[in-house]
Amino acid sequence: MIFGHINQPNPCRLPSAIEKALDFLRTTDFRQLEPGVKEIDGKNIFAQIIDLTTRAVPENKPEVHRRYLDIQFLAWGEEKIGIAIDTGHNEISESLLEQRDIIFYQHSENESFIEMVPGSYAIFFPQDVHRPACNKTTETAIRKIVVKVALAAL
């Protein structure tokens, strides 16, 4: 996992597909876009623009992906995201790997939380369990952008 803020320069170059995704986040005015999917580089890199309300931690399931990494970016609002290493010991709640490249777990062992503020992003790799859209303090309307980057594009 990589955690940062879109306005902070990154002293290290990341793979070009990730840099392309971060450039999209830096240069797009998300107030001008409707929720939905926006292609950045076909099926290799695309963004999901999502308006939602955060929920209590137990109401959100921890998740992992196997073919894409997630760059979760908070445009407005506040949320916390649960994070953990996928040890292989988490009980699967639902597997939609073939349809949507996602596995939901019942729980996540050794989970910690990061707090997201507008401009924050977190990059989750296949070994990173994450539980997004959790209340930081109370239910909050947020806009988040989830950029999916195909592992094959790295």
Report pTM.
0.95
Mean pLDDT of the region 44-62: 98
pLDDT band at 63 (very low <50, low <70, confident <90, very high): very high
Hey, what domains does the chain have and what are their CATH numbers? 2-153 (2.60.120.370)
Residue 13: band (very low, low, confident or very high) from pLDDT cuts 50, 70, 90: confident
Confidence of residue 59 (pLDDT cuts 50, 70, 90): very high
**Residue 12 scores a pLDDT above 90:** no
**Long-range CB pairs of 91-97, under 8 A, 24+ apart, other chains included:** 93/61, 94/61, 97/66
